[in-house]
Amino acid sequence: MTEPKRLHVITWGCQMNVYDSGRMADVLAPLGYAPAAEAAGADMVILNTCHIREKAVDKVFSELGRLRQLKDASDGRMILAVAGCVAQAEGAEIIARAPYVDIVLGPQTYHRLPEMVARASRAGNKVIETDFPPEDKFDHLPDSATPQGVTAFLTVQEGCDKFCSFCVVPYTRGAEQSRPAAAILREARHLVGQGAREITLLGQNVNAWHGDGTDGSTWGLGRLLHALANIPNLLRLRYATSHPRDMDDDLIAAHRDIPILMPFLHLPVQSGSDRILAAMNRKHTAVDYRRIVDRLREVRPDLALSSDFIVGHPGETQADFDATMTLVRDVGFAQAYSFKYSRRFGTPAAGAPDQVPEAEKDRRLQMLQALLREQQSRFAAGCVGLTLPVLFTGPGRHPGQISGRSPFLQPVHLSGHSDLIGNESLARIVAAHPNSLAGTLVQERLIA
Ligand code: SAH
Ligand code: SF4
Ligand code: F3S
């Protein structure tokens, strides 16, 4: 028997980091590590980091300063690891600046964590693993030990070959790689066996997925979604994040043909100006984007859209920004994320001469966010009076309440018994709040 130990994981960044943190806990479970809610008193702490915007590195060192005190309080017994995209980008520099860190590991090495812990446990040893190893980490990761819950993430694709002018991801996550369909189907069945009813397929460019099918041919994401849709008791499928360039005919048709594929799509556009889209190396125009949205809405009229926007990319003029505002008004988004352009060392745009002043970026961001907020409220208000399927994910805030998710990823609160958790039922939406909906049950249980 291995001695019980306590593992605390701190997760920053995207959904893939959330998934990765779970997988790191899975790989450490056989060594006796059980999840701990707090860093204080834990035997091991992993800080899973994100490098996407500026101050990422400062934020890591300031958190490490805090963790150092906890490590000192444990008489140095606590193993401190830094994982994720800052670990990949900074590597040995982290241990140079914070010598109390024991392990620095990049996203492609998580399966080697048990061996790294063994090495680091020998006093004084420091471990730095930021290569892109030849073996596939997914072949070496165990099945998830801890259930993710009613809604689960499943990474199907990792890395990026797109090299947008502003973005660090191709450098931190490496080249695009797709997992084989058989491994994905196996993991999906395992998650459903553990109680998952909604699965979100993850990838930095999830719709660039092209993997070995179960019939010996190469499949695209549309085909994979069809195979996943046949899993009994799986009620909902989603995928994120997709790139407009990879929305192929099969995937668009999947939105028509697969009822459990939810009518909500996160499809980042970044800008509405062709000049800026070209400077960003996005490899599509604003019209291409509008055309994809039209085609999706033709096959799935209730489809709601979400997107990412960057304001103030080098060279962005007022006219370029106006084109973004026009695109937002024309397309209409149910939800969106918007950011000021952030200069990332080593990316092509960082060296561009025509950087936009900070105050101008602030002004544009405020205008864009006001418009996006208005669209989000209008979309939510439009749900009031509708009867929508709600997947119940957990207890509500008050006794007798239960919470769930609409098809459009909005949280829904209503009165109901907690034994409904894991079921999908119809609810009438009675009110829209800024970040959630209120509903009443109209039909108990769509499935047993
Ligand atoms: N793979 C996804 C997004 C990855 S990063 C895609 O291609 O769409 C998530 C979002 O962060 C991006 O869509 C972009 O809007 C934003 N982002 C990335 N780098 C940024 C930077 N340097 N400055 C500001 N926002 C950035
Ligand atoms: Fe970054 Fe562009 Fe790749 Fe998305 S497609 S991860 S924004 S380089
Ligand atoms: Fe951040 Fe890396 Fe995800 S930079 S957004 S954690 S891929």
What does the pLDDT read at residue 2? 66
State whether the beta carbon of 167 lies less than 6 angstroms from ligand 2.
Answer: yes
State whether the beta carbon of 368 lies less than 6 angstroms from ligand 3.
Answer: no
Residue with tokens 């990879």: 246
Rounded to 5 degrees, φ, ψ at 33 are -85, 125
What does the pLDDT read at residue 223? 98
What does the pLDDT read at residue 448? 44
Cβ count within 10 A of residue 409? 18
Q: For the purposes of burial, counting CB atoms within 10 Å of the CB of 184, is it exposed (0-12), middle (13-18) or buried (19 or more)?
A: buried
Spacing, Cα 418 to ligand 3 middle (Å):
35
| 202 three-state secondary structure | strand
User: Distance from CA of residue 294 to its chain's centroid?
Assistant: 25
What does the pLDDT read at residue 312? 98
What does the pLDDT read at residue 446? 54
State whether the beta carbon of 270 lies less than 6 angstroms from ligand 1.
Answer: yes
Spacing, Cα 241 to ligand 2 middle (Å):
10
**For the chain, the helix, strand and coil percentages under 3-state DSSP, each to the nearest 5:** 40, 25, 35
Sheet with 33-35, edge to edge strand ranges: 33-35, 5-11, 44-49, 79-83, 103-105, 127-129
State whether the beta carbon of 344 lies less than 6 angstroms from ligand 2.
Answer: no
Across the chain, which has 448 residues, the per-10-residue mean pLDDT values are 86 96 96 95 97 94 97 92 97 96 97 95 88 88 87 97 97 95 97 97 97 96 98 98 97 98 98 98 98 98 98 98 98 98 96 97 98 97 97 92 97 93 96 95 65
The two three-digit tokens of residue 260, written as one number: 């459990």
Domains of the chain: 5-129 (3.40.50.12160), 138-381 (3.80.30.20), 387-447 (2.40.50.140)
In the chain, the N- to C-terminal Cα span, in Å, equals 39
Alpha carbon distance 29, 18 (integer Å): 17
Nearest CA to ligand 3 atom 3: 14
Spacing, Cα 389 to ligand 1 middle (Å):
31
Spacing, Cα 401 to ligand 1 middle (Å):
36
